[in-house]
Structure 1
Amino acid sequence: MRAELAKLSFEPGVAKPDPLLVVDGVTRAFGGLVAVHVEHLEIERGAITALIGPNGAGKSTLFNVVSGFDRADSGSWTFDGAPVTGRSAHRVARRGLVRTFQLTKTLSRLSVLENMLLAANGQRGERLGLALLPPVWLRQEREIKRRADELLDRFRLSRMRDEYAGTLSGGQRKLLEMARALMVRPTMVMLDEPMAGVNPALTQSLLSHITDLRDEGMTVCFVEHDMDVVMGISDWVVCMAEGEVVAEGPPHAVAKNPAVIDAYLGKQHDEPGTEPDHE
Structure 2
Amino acid sequence: MSADPATLPPEPGVAKPDPVLVVDDLVRAFGGLVAVDVEHLEIQRGTITSLIGPNGAGKSTLFNVLSGFDRADRGRWSFDGTPVTGRAAHRLARQGLVRTFQLTRTLSRLTVLDNMKLAATGQRGERLLSALLPPLWLRQERDIERRADELLERFRLDRMRTEYAGTLSGGQRKLLEMARALMVHPTMVLLDEPMAGVNPALTQSLLGHITDLRDEGLTVCFVEHDMDVVMGISDWVVCMAEGRIVAEGPPRAVAENPAVIDAYLGSRHDEAGGEDDAR
Q: Structure 1 length as normaliser, TM-score? A: 0.95
In the TM superposition, residue 111 of structure 1 has moved relative to its aligned partner by: 0.4
- Which secondary structure state, in structure 1, belongs to the residue aligned with residue 137 of structure 2? helix
Instruction: Return closer, same or farther for 1:200/1:266 CA change in 2, 3 Å cut-off.
Output: closer
Equivalent residues in 2 for 1:50-65 (5 A)?
50-65=50-65
CA-to-aligned-CA distance 1:77-106 (integer Å, 9 cap, x gap): 000000110111101111100000000000
Q: Which residue of 1 aligns with 2:75?
A: 75
Q: Which residue of 2 aligns with 1:17?
A: 17
State the alpha-carbon separation in 2 of the partners of residues 188 and 155 from structure 1.
18
State the alpha-carbon separation in 2 of the partners of residues 33 and 234 from structure 1.
30
Task: Judge conservation of contact 2:24–2:39 (CA < 8 Å) in 1.
Answer: yes
Equivalent residues in 2 for 1:56-205 (5 A)?
56-205=56-205
In the TM superposition, residue 266 of structure 1 has moved relative to its aligned partner by: 4.7
State the alpha-carbon separation in 2 of the partners of residues 19 and 78 from structure 1.
10
Partner amino acid, structure 1, of 2:97: L
Task: Judge conservation of contact 1:11–1:247 (CA < 8 Å) in 2.
Answer: yes
- Which secondary structure state, in structure 2, belongs to the residue aligned with residue 6 of structure 1? helix
Task: Judge conservation of contact 1:68–1:88 (CA < 8 Å) in 2.
Answer: yes
In the TM superposition, residue 7 of structure 1 has moved relative to its aligned partner by: 1.3
- Which secondary structure state, in structure 1, belongs to the residue aligned with residue 4 of structure 2? helix
State the alpha-carbon separation in 2 of the partners of residues 265 and 113 from structure 1.
41
Partner amino acid, structure 2, of 1:192: D
- Which secondary structure state, in structure 1, belongs to the residue aligned with residue 42 of structure 2? strand
Q: Which residue of 2 aligns with 1:46?
A: 46
Task: Judge conservation of contact 1:25–1:75 (CA < 8 Å) in 2.
Answer: yes
Instruction: Return closer, same or farther for 1:24/1:152 CA change in 2, 3 Å cut-off.
Output: same
In the TM superposition, residue 8 of structure 1 has moved relative to its aligned partner by: 1.1
- The runs of at least 4 consecutive aligned structure 1 residues that moved more than 3 Å come to none
Task: Judge conservation of contact 1:2–1:235 (CA < 8 Å) in 2.
Answer: no
Report how many residues are paired.
272
CA-to-aligned-CA distance 1:189-244 (integer Å, 9 cap, x gap): 00000000000000000000000000000000000000010000000000000000
Alignment RMSD (CA, Å): 1.7
Q: Which residue of 2 aligns with 1:33?
A: 33
In the TM superposition, residue 264 of structure 1 has moved relative to its aligned partner by: 2.0
State the alpha-carbon separation in 1 of the partners of residues 220 and 163 from structure 2.
29
Partner amino acid, structure 2, of 1:152: L
State the alpha-carbon separation in 1 of the partners of residues 23 and 264 from structure 2.
24
- Which secondary structure state, in structure 2, belongs to the residue aligned with residue 214 of structure 1? helix
CA-to-aligned-CA distance 1:24-56 (integer Å, 9 cap, x gap): 000000011000000000000000000000000
Task: Judge conservation of contact 1:27–1:74 (CA < 8 Å) in 2.
Answer: yes
Q: Which residue of 1 aligns with 2:242?
A: 242
Q: Which residue of 1 aligns with 2:222?
A: 222
State the alpha-carbon separation in 1 of the partners of residues 249 and 33 from structure 2.
28
Task: Judge conservation of contact 1:28–1:72 (CA < 8 Å) in 2.
Answer: yes
In the TM superposition, residue 265 of structure 1 has moved relative to its aligned partner by: 4.5
State the alpha-carbon separation in 2 of the partners of residues 19 and 206 from structure 1.
25
- Which secondary structure state, in structure 2, belongs to the residue aligned with residue 113 of structure 1? helix
Equivalent residues in 2 for 1:250-265 (5 A)?
250-265=250-265
In the TM superposition, residue 178 of structure 1 has moved relative to its aligned partner by: 0.1
- Which secondary structure state, in structure 2, belongs to the residue aligned with residue 23 of structure 1? strand
- Which secondary structure state, in structure 2, belongs to the residue aligned with residue 9 of structure 1? coil
CA-to-aligned-CA distance 1:135-169 (integer Å, 9 cap, x gap): 11000000000000000000000111000000000
State the alpha-carbon separation in 2 of the partners of residues 85 and 62 from structure 1.
13
Identity %: 83
State the alpha-carbon separation in 1 of the partners of residues 2 and 244 from structure 2.
24
Partner amino acid, structure 2, of 1:12: P
